Amino acid sequence: MKANDYTPFNYKNIRMPLSLRLKIFYVKKFRRKNKELQRKFMKEMGARRRFTEERSTIQWYPSVESSSCSSCGVCVDFCPRSVYEKDGKGRAVVVNPYECVLLCRGCVPKCPSGAISFPDPEDFKKYVYYE
């Protein structure tokens, strides 16, 4: 999967009730530009998301290639979960790995240097289901 393939509504192979799948289909197909509706929907999805194991045992979090990082700070400002902080030289470092939302890769396409990477999401879908 390429970095810009990221979509918050990528639900394939994740266990999810039909009602939620239909809502995703509707939002993707007919309400793609309605950011307010999308925010509400993401909130609902977050509330219904469950993990098969403790989050602290699931190794899903970003890695930063420090030699590629240009210290722009975009990821630090962007991540709503404060996963990153700046080190003494302004480069991004991962300080709260388990705060990273499982299967989120929202910061990857924001990085202008391509310095952020994640493990293969396919290996982690088995940990997520929705009530």
Residues that bind ligand SF4 (CB under 6 A): 62, 64, 69-75, 78-79, 81, 83, 91-92, 100-101, 104-107, 110-111, 113, 115-116
Burial letters for 105-119: b for 16+ Cβ neighbours within 10 Å, e otherwise?
A: bebbeebebebbebe
Q: How far is the CB of 34 from ligand SF4 (least distance, A)?
A: 21
Q: How far is the CB of 73 from ligand SF4 (least distance, A)?
A: 5
Q: Please, which residue, 14 or 92, has the CB nearer to ligand SF4?
A: 92
Q: How far is the CB of 74 from ligand SF4 (least distance, A)?
A: 4
Q: Which amino acid is it at 10? A: N
Q: How far apart are CA 21 and CA 126, in angstroms?
A: 17
> Does an H or E element contain 41, and which?
helix 35-48
